[in-house]
Amino acid sequence: MKILVDTSAWVDFLNGHPSPEGRALGTLIAGEHDVCTCGIVVAEVFQGLRREKERQEIDTLFRHLTFLEPSSVDVYFRAAEIYRSLRQRGRTVRSTVDCLIAAIAEESGCHVLARDRDLDLVLSSGLVRASLWQPSS
């Protein structure tokens, strides 16, 4: 199973926050699932790192993940379409980034591990053929 891990789950994991998502990420890294990342998640995670030693260790970890890239500009068009469709339904996502992550997950056939209300809104809307991966408690 392919699981695209959102920044929110990485932050919990790296900071030792005892959330189900943070614990699940630790299990995923040690297990057999295909843990995935994408450019925007890499940028968000690494902009928050403060210590050089920590950055080097996490750099090594991220280089072993499956890196997903949008295949074309169509993925960005899809992210904008998701955003517009949700606004037409009276639901506003606070960041286009969440729509882009959902569109990348959809294109790549991934589930998403996140602790993010906007991603939850996008993935539960029925507009995207990707779903939130629920860690077991």
Q: pLDDT confidence of 14, banded at 50, 70, 90?
A: very high
- Which residue has tokens 């295949």? 71
Where residue 136 falls among pLDDT bands split at 50, 70, 90? low
pTM, two decimals, is: 0.94
* Residues with Cβ within 8 Å of residue 21, at least 6 apart in sequence: 8, 9, 12, 13, 113, 114, 115, 135
CB 113 within 8 A of CB 6: yes
Amino acid at site 94: R
User: Taking residues 90-115, what's their average pLDDT?
Assistant: 96
Predicted local confidence at residue 36, as pLDDT:
98
Burial of 6 (0-12, 13-18, 19+ CB in 10 A): buried
How far is residue 60's CA from residue 41's CA, in Å, rounded to a whole number? 15
Can you give the residue ranges of every domain in the chain? 2-132
**CATH code of the domain occupying 2-132:** 3.40.50.1010
Q: What is the pLDDT of residues 23-54, one digit of tens each?
A: 999 999 999 899 999 999 999 999 988 888 88
pLDDT value for 128: 97
